[in-house]
Amino acid sequence: MNLANLSLADLAGTLISFFLTLMVFSYALGDNVLFRLTVHIFVGVAAGYAAVVAWYNVIWGQMFLPLLDGGPAQLLYISLPLSLGFLLLFKASSRLTILGNPATAFLVGVGMAAAVGGSVFGTIFPQIGATINLFDLEAIKQMGVSLWSRLGQGSLILIGTMASLIYFHFGARSRAGQAPQRQSWIENLAWVGEVFIAITLGVVFAGVYSSALTALVERLYFVGDVLIPLVLIP
């Protein structure tokens, strides 16, 4: 990196990034003031960025602009969210908090519906469809791959999908206070599903570790890229 060719703004940004990186690396020597300062700066910048995005994209763009320039249809459209948002302000008072319960219930209900809908239509159904497509003989012929190899892969994925879902089948309680009772074949498939889940979690952990290691190497390279020109200056 040739620091001499950088503009003043780029040079300032590079030096700030360099010192912040060193402050983060100082955590290797133990918790200290420099590391905590960097964390506070990061949290503050992230909160400020989120506040600016919320203001321009939500509050100003979807509330104030329709109120100022919108017609009757737009005013009617935003009346419900505006009313619910106003009710949420009552949650700040211990005496008037009950008035904010309808808005809170609406938020929780919509959030749960979105989570359940996303899980069903975004995960379970696509996984079922992808598993079924593995046994599409016409598609296998068009791909030009070995039929038995493809069917073997599909069978393995099918077993893993079914066993992983069965793993979360807890059964029914036979008596009060006793553990759920499950049939032996469900127990066996649940064990297979546990193996597949363990492999999946291992792969996810490996991916996270690989990403963290890549970020570390990139930061070390950045530090060296800044230090080397400074050291070599005559």
Sign of CA dihedral 15, 17, 18, 22: positive
Band of pLDDT at residue 171, cut at 50, 70 and 90: low
Is the pLDDT assigned to residue 202 strictly greater than 90? yes
Is the pLDDT assigned to residue 214 strictly greater than 60? yes
Torsion, Cα of 66, 69, 74, 80 (10° steps): 40
Render pLDDT for 4-51 as a digit per residue (tens, 0 to 9).
677 787 878 888 888 888 898 888 888 889 999 999 999 999 999 999
The answer for residues whose C-beta is within 8 angstroms of residue 127's C-beta and 6 or more apart is 161
Is the pLDDT assigned to residue 60 strictly greater than 70? yes
CA 229 – CA 3 distance, rounded (Å): 7
pLDDT score for 56: 87
Greater model confidence, 157 or 44: 44
Two tokens at 26? 């100082």
Render pLDDT for 82-118 as a digit per residue (tens, 0 to 9).
888 888 888 888 888 888 888 899 889 999 999 998 8
pLDDT score for 179: 56
pTM over 0.85: no
pLDDT score for 208: 93
Mean per-residue pLDDT for 52-65? Answer: 84
Provide, rounded to the nearest whole percent, the portion of the chain with pLDDT above 90: 20
Phi, psi at residue 172, to the nearest 5°? Answer: -120, 150
Is the pLDDT assigned to residue 196 strictly greater than 70? yes
Residue with tokens 């793993």: 167
Nearest to 131 by CA among 99, 153, 109, 108: 153
pLDDT score for 76: 78
Is the pLDDT assigned to residue 147 strictly greater than 90? no
Phi, psi at residue 93, to the nearest 5°? Answer: -105, 135
CA 32 – CA 43 distance, rounded (Å): 17
CA 53 – CA 59 distance, rounded (Å): 9
Q: Name the range with the highest mean pLDDT among 77-91, 180-194, 212-226.
A: 212-226
Task: Give the residue ranges of DSSP H helices in the chain.
Answer: 8-25, 33-54, 65-69, 72-88, 101-119, 125-133, 137-143, 147-167, 184-231
Band of pLDDT at residue 72, cut at 50, 70 and 90: confident
